[in-house]
Chains A and B, each alone.
Chain A
């Protein structure tokens, strides 16, 4: 046996060293880090990491889905150090270097969710189990978001939601593994109320047509609460099937209902069809109760506005973001996206791009893909530079708290993209709310060992 000069044997040195390591608390981290490599779903072991893009490329919200795909491809290119870097240059604080995520090149797989919850869930399952996706993102409907984030909670895979506006997504159906950058119906109501009051007064009678699923229900509820607080009456709230196409049978009763405002809780192609048909029924030329009949679309997007054409002029709504904002983040994103695709990005594209970067940044800050650590890095994280002002990823419900835009259809557009005007930017403090009002439980962060 070799005797060291100090008189300590090698065995003794090892024993003492191990005891010291254990005593100083380094061991649990070391062992855990070793365990992460073994125990979590789709831990990337090669030199690439795969993201799962769940996109509604067909169905009622297909226009948004197509724009989302462009945004994801752009974000992944920027993460891999390609192109002009986009929002990587303006995100603060940022751990992103343009060298992939944790040095691994970012790849992706896609699935067409068809704007259907069950198809979205099946697609996400396939991308996790077959394609090895480390994170799932996308979707344009809250039905999809709620279904997929439930699945992701079960499988221990992080879900960065795309366009989802229902209160339920970060309310009663919130999940530890689900994160939403987009705003919600409650915040739409809070932002829109004062503008509607100024424009149309406090003595109005509203008729709601509502898409019959989670988003429509919560938007109807939030907007009703807002307008009734203004003093408006709600004449009727009628549910319409998603993707109804012909809304004439629902619009006809509005004409003689005594209502003087029609509130369309519709989105995507449904909104384009229902608004176009409402205008065909002469609703914008009508008088009711001695006032000009008005139409309100609480959730607007540029793509819908473009699809609805002239019918959109003068109509109020809210948006998560608009390409014409003049902050450095919005300018940088519009420039990157426009140069790549020849058109300005939609709010759906923006939220999906931002979500991808936020996930990558959280992984870099956590130093691992291990989901519970990434979740910790996202919860309570504050950032700026992404086009919505200073933003907080609230830990209690995983809802991003940031400013909300009130927009109006442009009366005198200068180009085919100049369809919406930003009327007001409502700050984050005004649209803040107590996360407990919508109930729900986030659930545990430790992943279930179900993913092969």
Chain B
């Protein structure tokens, strides 16, 4: 039984990692700019499609006809050669194999620029508008992003293979004293969890230990006073929006081998991530992360057969049920601050 519970716990960490990464970005935007950003799920999806785009570029092929061979339908055989492999040989093959992790390198600048352009071009005009209007405009942006991706890449999921060396399962049980092959878990899912832990740790360290982060935190606490000190807080907040977009984009990239992305990917995560933010406490970064992992783990345990036998369908509603209970007991969420979204 311990093995079953432990495996579900790992599953929960894996799911929670995705929730926490998206919720972290949402909270960064809300905490700094005070904007409820319904386009954040779309940023996750756009990050995933950076990986798709990168792989499609790497796998561009030249087609030559071999008249000496025929296809099963009797036509001359087409020989397809990937361009990158033709140019770079073995290194090209490595690039294609590791296209998902390598695509992070192009995702960071793309998402940073996209985030900054979004904030400067549209979001900044809605800072002083009611939250309902912010939701409407950002939701509209999400739909536009969705439709653009749908028109370019089509409506269907596009599988992104993980590197061949990382496809198997890790024998975690043997690491902690169990027999071999009793507790095994997919290597990529462990990597995703570690990756999210590093990103979350990096964001916290950036805010905690750099001057930039210190100013941003001061601005989050009292924007006007920081502004009166002669600090251009708006520029820093713009960069924070870009940073949130980068976090969402990287989370999307690394998730592609686990779930082939399609244009709707962002919406699938958006609602859950908002529940995570509300449960964690609006504007609280540690709250968002804690709630992400908590709800991921609870959802995983709720999907166990033994639990569903007792309460059928509990896996579908557990997150909302827990949200209701937590908000009844702690109306500001787990770590919510007084005055945030309270008039």
A residues adjacent to B (C-beta < 8 A):
57-58, 62-63, 236, 238, 245-246, 248-250, 252-253, 255-256, 269, 272-273, 276-277, 279-282, 285-287, 307, 309, 323-324, 334-339, 342, 344, 417
Tell me which of A246, A272, A280 contacts B188 (CB under 8 A).
A280
- Point out the residues of chain B lying under 8 angstroms from A236, CB to CB: 305
Determine if A238 and B184 form an interchain contact, defined as CB atoms under 8 angstroms apart.
no
B303 to chain A minimum Cβ distance, whole angstroms, is 4
- Point out the residues of chain B lying under 8 angstroms from A337, CB to CB: 73
Stretch of B33-41, B156-164, B193-201, B323-331 on the interface side: B156-164
Knowing A252-B11, A287-B181, say if A339 contacts B75 (CB, 8 Å): yes
A57 vs B10: C-alpha distance when bound (angstroms): 35
Tell me which of A57, A58, A344 contacts B73 (CB under 8 A).
A344
A249 vs B156: C-alpha distance when bound (angstroms): 23
Given contact pairs A57-B155, A245-B157, A279-B167, a sample of 13 additional A-B residue pairs in the complex whose CB atoms are under 8 Å apart: A252-B300, A253-B305, A255-B3, A255-B7, A269-B157, A277-B186, A280-B188, A285-B168, A286-B181, A309-B161, A334-B72, A338-B72, A338-B73
Determine if A248 and B73 form an interchain contact, defined as CB atoms under 8 angstroms apart.
no
3 closest A-B pairs by CB: A338-B73, A282-B169, A280-B186
Give the residues from 301 to 326 in chain B that come closer than 8 angstroms, CB to CB, to chain A: 303-305, 315
Residue of A nearest to B150 (CB): A58
Determine if A335 and B74 form an interchain contact, defined as CB atoms under 8 angstroms apart.
yes
A325 to chain B minimum Cβ distance, whole angstroms, is 11
Determine if B3 and A307 form an interchain contact, defined as CB atoms under 8 angstroms apart.
no
B residues adjacent to A (C-beta < 8 A):
3-4, 7-8, 10-11, 14-15, 71-75, 78, 155-157, 159, 161, 167-169, 181-182, 184-189, 258-260, 268, 299-300, 303-305, 315
A302 to chain B minimum Cβ distance, whole angstroms, is 12
A187 vs B3: C-alpha distance when bound (angstroms): 38
Residue of B nearest to A308 (CB): B159
A63 vs B155: C-alpha distance when bound (angstroms): 11
B55 to chain A minimum Cβ distance, whole angstroms, is 14
Tell me which of A58, A250, A336, A344 contacts B303 (CB under 8 A).
A250
User: Most chain-B CB neighbours within 10 Å: which of A253, A334, A339?
Assistant: A253
- Point out the residues of chain B lying under 8 angstroms from A252, CB to CB: 4, 7-8, 10-11, 300
B304 to chain A minimum Cβ distance, whole angstroms, is 6
Determine if B74 and A253 form an interchain contact, defined as CB atoms under 8 angstroms apart.
no
- Point out the residues of chain B lying under 8 angstroms from A58, CB to CB: 155-156
Residue of A nearest to B306 (CB): A253
A58 vs B71: C-alpha distance when bound (angstroms): 29
Determine if B305 and A238 form an interchain contact, defined as CB atoms under 8 angstroms apart.
yes
Main secondary structure of the interface of A (DSSP, over half): helix
A77 to chain B minimum Cβ distance, whole angstroms, is 16
A337 vs B75: C-alpha distance when bound (angstroms): 11
Determine if A248 and B189 form an interchain contact, defined as CB atoms under 8 angstroms apart.
yes
A247 vs B78: C-alpha distance when bound (angstroms): 37
Tell me which of B72, B185, B258 contacts A344 (CB under 8 A).
B72
B309 to chain A minimum Cβ distance, whole angstroms, is 10
- Point out the residues of chain B lying under 8 angstroms from A269, CB to CB: 156-157, 260
A92 to chain B minimum Cβ distance, whole angstroms, is 23
- Point out the residues of chain B lying under 8 angstroms from A276, CB to CB: 159
Determine if A256 and B4 form an interchain contact, defined as CB atoms under 8 angstroms apart.
yes
Determine if A249 and B74 form an interchain contact, defined as CB atoms under 8 angstroms apart.
no
- Point out the residues of chain B lying under 8 angstroms from A282, CB to CB: 168-169, 181, 184, 186
Knowing A63-B156, A249-B315, A282-B168, say if A256 contacts B74 (CB, 8 Å): no
- Point out the residues of chain A lying under 8 angstroms from B78, CB to CB: 342
User: Most chain-A CB neighbours within 10 Å: which of B72, B73, B155, B159?
Assistant: B73
- Point out the residues of chain B lying under 8 angstroms from A272, CB to CB: 159
- Point out the residues of chain B lying under 8 angstroms from A273, CB to CB: 259-260
- Point out the residues of chain A lying under 8 angstroms from B304, CB to CB: 253
Tell me which of B72, B168, B187, B188 contacts A417 (CB under 8 A).
B72
- Point out the residues of chain A lying under 8 angstroms from B72, CB to CB: 323-324, 334, 338, 344, 417
Determine if B4 and A253 form an interchain contact, defined as CB atoms under 8 angstroms apart.
yes
- Point out the residues of chain B lying under 8 angstroms from A344, CB to CB: 72-73
A386 to chain B minimum Cβ distance, whole angstroms, is 17
- Point out the residues of chain A lying under 8 angstroms from B268, CB to CB: 245
A249 vs B12: C-alpha distance when bound (angstroms): 9
Determine if A281 and B184 form an interchain contact, defined as CB atoms under 8 angstroms apart.
yes
Determine if A335 and B73 form an interchain contact, defined as CB atoms under 8 angstroms apart.
yes
- Point out the residues of chain A lying under 8 angstroms from B168, CB to CB: 280, 282, 285
Knowing A248-B11, A249-B300, say if A255 contacts B184 (CB, 8 Å): yes
Determine if A280 and B167 form an interchain contact, defined as CB atoms under 8 angstroms apart.
yes
Determine if A256 and B157 form an interchain contact, defined as CB atoms under 8 angstroms apart.
no
Residue of B nearest to A336 (CB): B73
A328 to chain B minimum Cβ distance, whole angstroms, is 14
A273 to chain B minimum Cβ distance, whole angstroms, is 7
A349 vs B138: C-alpha distance when bound (angstroms): 42
A345 vs B155: C-alpha distance when bound (angstroms): 22
A324 vs B3: C-alpha distance when bound (angstroms): 45
Residue of A nearest to B169 (CB): A282
Residue of A nearest to B258 (CB): A246
A318 vs B276: C-alpha distance when bound (angstroms): 44
Determine if B169 and A338 form an interchain contact, defined as CB atoms under 8 angstroms apart.
no
- Point out the residues of chain B lying under 8 angstroms from A256, CB to CB: 3-4, 7, 182
A269 vs B4: C-alpha distance when bound (angstroms): 27
Tell me which of A62, A245, A248 contacts B156 (CB under 8 A).
A62
Residue of A nearest to B1 (CB): A256
A286 vs B167: C-alpha distance when bound (angstroms): 15
B113 to chain A minimum Cβ distance, whole angstroms, is 30
Determine if A338 and B71 form an interchain contact, defined as CB atoms under 8 angstroms apart.
yes
A334 vs B71: C-alpha distance when bound (angstroms): 10
- Point out the residues of chain A lying under 8 angstroms from B189, CB to CB: 248, 280
Knowing A339-B73, A339-B74, say if A249 contacts B169 (CB, 8 Å): no
Determine if A248 and B14 form an interchain contact, defined as CB atoms under 8 angstroms apart.
yes
User: Most chain-A CB neighbours within 10 Å: which of B7, B78, B305?
Assistant: B7
A110 to chain B minimum Cβ distance, whole angstroms, is 15
A255 vs B187: C-alpha distance when bound (angstroms): 15
- Point out the residues of chain A lying under 8 angstroms from B259, CB to CB: 245-246, 273
Residue of B nearest to A256 (CB): B3
A264 vs B89: C-alpha distance when bound (angstroms): 39
- Point out the residues of chain A lying under 8 angstroms from B157, CB to CB: 245, 269
- Point out the residues of chain A lying under 8 angstroms from B300, CB to CB: 249, 252
A372 to chain B minimum Cβ distance, whole angstroms, is 39
A273 vs B268: C-alpha distance when bound (angstroms): 17
B258 to chain A minimum Cβ distance, whole angstroms, is 6
A220 vs B73: C-alpha distance when bound (angstroms): 36
A248 vs B18: C-alpha distance when bound (angstroms): 14
- Point out the residues of chain B lying under 8 angstroms from A323, CB to CB: 72
